[in-house]
Amino acid sequence: MKRTASSLLANSATGALAAAVLALGAPARAGDLQGLDNEQSLALKGTVVDLVCGLTGKCAPGCGGGKRQLGLRADDGKLYATIKSVTDFAGSTADLLPWCGKSVELDGLLIENPRMRVYLVQSIRAGASEPWKPTIAFQEQWSAKNGKADEWYRVDPAVKTIIDADGVYGIKGLEPKKQ
């Protein structure tokens, strides 16, 4: 369930608390749950970073120009790998790249377990006065290049080439069982 400032303020019991939170500048959204193990809605504020640069110091201009995994260095210092957008089977790099080195607010889901912590970005904005925008840049860029498709990954030329060469499991000769 999405919580907006107006819905929180409408409930008199939570109105004062919501007003206090909003006054502190906290993001006023909560990511849409997907039914994943260990998921939690989480809105973040921080700076978009190149993860390789942030972890190793090996930095490329412009966050790698879209060829590197991006993340968010939250205002509290934590580093989040932002691996997914709202587009099926697409990462968040296309949405975050224009914000390389800049402060943003993200809304989405944190998936956390002892082996990893990743963030699925659902919406982004430059600041509290800006509207939230869904993370659909990959889909828009793909559609501009390839045309519209309900399931881009089923008709993508690069995906088809890889499946033709290596099979659906990525291992030559390994095929799904016929039923």
pLDDT digits (tens, 9 = 90+) for 86-110: 999 999 999 999 999 999 999 999 9
- For the segment 133-160, the average pLDDT, to the nearest whole number, is 94
Q: What is the DSSP letter of 97?
A: G
From the list 56, 141, 155, the residue with the least C-alpha distance to 94 is 141
From the list 136, 27, 61, the residue with the least C-alpha distance to 92 is 136
pTM equals: 0.74
Q: Which of 74-88, 137-151, 164-178 has the lowest mean pLDDT?
A: 164-178
Q: Give me the numbers of helices (H) and strands (E) for the chain, helices first please.
A: 7, 6
